[in-house]
Amino acid sequence: MALSGVEIFKLLPKTNCKKCGYPTCLAFAMKLAQRQASIDLCPDVSEEAKRVLGEASAPPVRPVTFGVGDRAVKMGEETVLFRHDKKFVNPCAFAVEIMDTLSEDDIAKICWQVLESEIDRVGQKLRIDAIMISNVSGDAGRFETAAKAVAANAAGVPVILSATDPRAAEAAVKPFADKKAVIYGANALNAEAMAAIAKANKASLGIAATSLDELAELTEKIKGFGVEDIVMDSGARKAKDIIEHNTLIRRAAIKKGVKSVGYPVINFMQRQDSLLEGLVASVGIAKYASIIVMSSVEKWKSLALFTLRQNIFTDPQVPMQVEQKIYNIGEPAAESPLFITTNFSLTYFIVSGEIENSKVASRLAVMDCEGLSVLTAWAAGKFTASKIAQFIQESGVEKDVPNKELIIPGYVAILSGSVEEKLPGWKITVGPREANAIPAFLRAR
Ligand code: SF4
C-alpha cells in the first residue's frame, strides 16, 4: 500500500540538511508520496527505511514481461482502477491460439498471419503480440512438434504454452527456454511440477483456477515454490464473469493491497462466432486484462481491437500531439500544394496519410494547438486567423512556395477571408472537410 507523506516523513532522518535538494525532510517526503522524487536523493536515509519505502512504492500489480527483444510484452505495473485517475501503464497483449492438433501447414499459416498483423496507426506499431499453443491433443510429443513449428515459423513472437500435463509443458518449452515464455495451466494438482519447469526455463507461470478463492490460494502456493512471475486466470469465460472477476482482482490488488492477486490477468475469449469473440475481447481491453487470447486473426477484428486498446491505454491527461513544423510529404517542388492543420496526432496522421494516398507531393504545415483537433482548436481560440498567419510567417515556408497558396481545412472555411487579410499576398483555398476527400480534391486541381 502507498504511504502518505507523513508516514514517509517518519522514516527520514529529519535533519533538514537539504542534501536531497528540498528545503526540508517533510517537503521531500511529500514529493516521494506523489512519486515525483526518488529516495536515492537522500544520502542519509537508513537501509531499513529504503526497504520499507521500496516495498510501499512497488506497483500493486507486479510487472511481468514475456518474450524477449523488441517484441517483448510488458504487463502489470498498474496503479489505478480508472484511466482518468492516471494512465493505464501497459497495454494488454493479444494472443492467438494454435491447437497442437493442427497440421504443420495450418500452424505456419497462422504464424504468418500473426507476423503480418502489424499496422501503423498514429505513429504506433500495433499487432497481434503473441501465440498460445494449446495441448488439446493431450499428447506431449504432438505438443512439442507444434511448439517447434511455431518457433520455426514465428521466431521472436512471445509464446504461451497451454498444458496441464507437466511432461507436455516440459517438452514444448524447450524451443523457448530463455525466451521468457508463459507456461499456462498450473492448478492444485500440478503446481509444484509446473513451478519447477517454469523456474528451470525462466518462464512465467500461468495459473488455471476455477474461482477467485482458488486463484488466491494458488498464487500463494506457487510463490512458495519460488516463482514470482505469475499470470492469473480466475476461470471466468463469460463476459459478465470476466468483468466481475477482473474488477474484483484489480480492486483487491490496488485498493486493499492484496498481494495474492497482484499479478497480470489472462483472459480467454475464444468463440465460434468471431464477432462475439471481438466483443468479449473488447470487455477485456476495457476491464483489466493483460493477455487476451483469441481463436483467429482477422483484419477487421484486429483493426477494431487495436483501435480500442490504443484509446484505452493513452494518457487522457496528455493530448497526443506531434511537433509543430512544415512536413514534406513526398518530395515537394515549388508549385506543390501547402496544407495547414493542427498538431493533434490523429489529425496529423490521417491528413498526412491521405495526402500520401493521393501521391501528390505536398507540404503540410502542422501548427501547435496543444494537441487539439481542428474544430476544437478553432472553438478554443487556438486555430485563429492571426495565429495561422503568425505561424506561416515565422515558419519561413514562404520562400519555398512562390505561388503563396495555403489550403485550410474545410471545417474552418469561415477563416478564409480573415487569414487572407492577415497574410497579405497569399491566396487561401478551402480544402475538404474530411481528410478522406483530399485525394479527390488534389486530383481535381
Ligand atoms: Fe532530510 Fe535527507 Fe533531504 Fe537531508 S537529504 S533534508 S535528511 S530528506
Instruction: Assess whether pLDDT exceeds 80 at residue 57.
Output: no
Whether residue 39 has its Cβ less than 6 Å from ligand 1: no
325-444 CATH = 3.40.50.11600
Closest CA to 100 of 132, 143, 130, 163: 143
Enter the pTM of the model.
0.77
The confidence score (pLDDT) of residue 83 equals: 87
Q: Where in the chain is the domain with CATH 1.10.15.40?
A: 5-57
What span, in angstroms and rounded, lies between the C-alpha atoms of 88 and 82?
A: 8
Instruction: Assess whether pLDDT exceeds 80 at residue 55.
Output: no
Closest CA to 234 of 256, 254, 264: 264
84 pLDDT band (50/70/90 cuts)? Answer: confident
Rounded to the nearest whole angstrom, what is the distance from the C-alpha of residue 28 to the centroid of ligand 1? 7
At which residue does the C-alpha cell 475481447 appear? 281
Query: What are φ and ψ of residue 163, in 5° steps?
Result: -160, 150
- Residue 79 vs residue 209, higher pLDDT: 209
Atom 2 of ligand 1, nearest CA residue: 42
Lowest mean pLDDT among 213-227, 278-292, 302-316: 302-316
Q: How far is CA 210 from the centre of its chain?
A: 28
The confidence score (pLDDT) of residue 173 equals: 96
**Segment 382-440, tens digit of pLDDT:** 999 999 999 999 999 999 999 999 999 999 999 999 999 999 999 999 999 999 999 99
Lowest mean pLDDT among 67-71, 88-92, 186-190, 318-322: 318-322
Closest CA to 12 of 53, 57, 55: 53
369 pLDDT band (50/70/90 cuts)? Answer: very high
120 pLDDT band (50/70/90 cuts)? Answer: confident
Counting from 1 in the atom list of ligand 1, the atom nearest the Cα of 12 is 8
Other C-beta atoms lying within 10 Å of the C-beta of residue 386: 12
Amino acid, res. 155: A
The confidence score (pLDDT) of residue 363 equals: 97
The yes or no reply on domain 64-312 and CATH 3.50.50.60 is no
Q: Where in the chain is the domain with CATH 3.40.50.11600?
A: 325-444
Instruction: Assess whether pLDDT exceeds 90 at residue 180.
Output: yes
Q: Is 42 helix (H, G, I), strand (E, B) or coil?
A: coil
Range 6-32 average pLDDT: 92
CA triple 13-19-21, angle to 5 deg: 115
Rounded to the nearest whole angstrom, what is the distance from the C-alpha of residue 46 to the centroid of ligand 1? 11
Closest CA to 129 of 281, 15, 254, 339: 281
Whether residue 26 has its Cβ less than 6 Å from ligand 1: no
50 pLDDT band (50/70/90 cuts)? Answer: confident
Q: Is 406 in contact with 423 (CB distance < 8 Å)?
A: yes
Whether residue 28 has its Cβ less than 6 Å from ligand 1: yes
The yes or no reply on domain 5-57 and CATH 3.40.50.970 is no
Q: Taking all residues of the chain, what is their mean pLDDT, rounded to a whole number?
A: 94
The confidence score (pLDDT) of residue 178 equals: 86
Strands 230-233 and 204-208: parallel
Instruction: Assess whether pLDDT exceeds 70 at residue 1.
Output: no
**Segment 213-265, tens digit of pLDDT:** 999 999 999 999 999 999 999 999 999 999 999 999 999 999 888 999 999 99
Q: Where in the chain is the domain with CATH 3.20.20.20?
A: 64-312
What span, in angstroms and rounded, lies between the C-alpha atoms of 124 and 322?
A: 13
Instruction: Assess whether pLDDT exceeds 80 at residue 317.
Output: no
Rounded to the nearest whole angstrom, what is the distance from the C-alpha of residue 10 to the centroid of ligand 1? 12
**Mutation to probe ligand 1, out of 14, 28, 39 (largest number of atoms < 8 A from CB):** 28
Strands 182-186 and 159-162: parallel
**Mutation to probe ligand 1, out of 24, 32, 44, 46 (largest number of atoms < 8 A from CB):** 44
